[in-house]
Amino acid sequence: MPDLSARFRRRDTDPEELTRRRFARRQWLRRWLVWRVLLAAALVVVLAAVGVWLVWFSSVLGVSGVDVEGTDHLGEDEVRVAAAVPAGEPLATLDIAAIEKRVEELPAVKNADVSRSWPDKVLIQVEERRVVAVFQVGSATAAWTSPVWCSATSASSPPTSRCCAPTVS
């Protein structure tokens, strides 16, 4: 049987040659370490830039719908129209306070809470005014909500659809 240990032995056992090879290998590893760190840092910067672009500037995470909760008398479509949420606008750059203000301008809305529902929806939670009394004045229906006096022009429309400032007699 042939001697296998001779096959795997180093052929050049010159100590000076071994030292030279070890030194060259260490130099190569040192250079590669610097490049590895630079490549990792560049990769992190590129990934961060792509993430920022995806969230704030692209339509990938843009608004594709509006969910409305808490409406009993008020229609969900009426709230959506009043909110005027721009479709396709990035969710991160959406002006939530302005949408909330527009929804709260509806006479039947006492309070509104607007929030982002990631990845692509806006959630509007509405608290409607409580109707205290409803009565008919001629052909118009009127309603008293605290603290606003509301009236509708016809008997078919809901009493909380149009409001005017409270009147003191």
pLDDT digits 0-9 by tens, 23-49: 888 888 888 888 899 999 999 999 999
Q: What is the mean pLDDT of the chain?
A: 81
Q: Give the fold, CATH level 3, of 65-128.
A: Ubiquitin-like (UB roll) (3.10.20)
Pairing type for strands 121-128 and 65-69 reads parallel
Q: Report the pLDDT value the prediction gives residue 168, as an integer from 0 to 100.
A: 38
Q: Report the pLDDT value the prediction gives residue 93, as an integer from 0 to 100.
A: 92
Separation of CA 119 from chain center: 6
Q: Looking up tokens 């005017």, which residue turns up? A: 164
| Domain locations in the chain as residue ranges | 12-57, 65-128, 131-164
User: pLDDT band at 140, cuts 50/70/90?
Assistant: confident
Q: At 71, is the secondary structure helix, strand, or coil?
A: coil
Phi, psi angle pair for 134, to nearest 5°: -130, 130
Phi, psi angle pair for 149, to nearest 5°: -90, 125
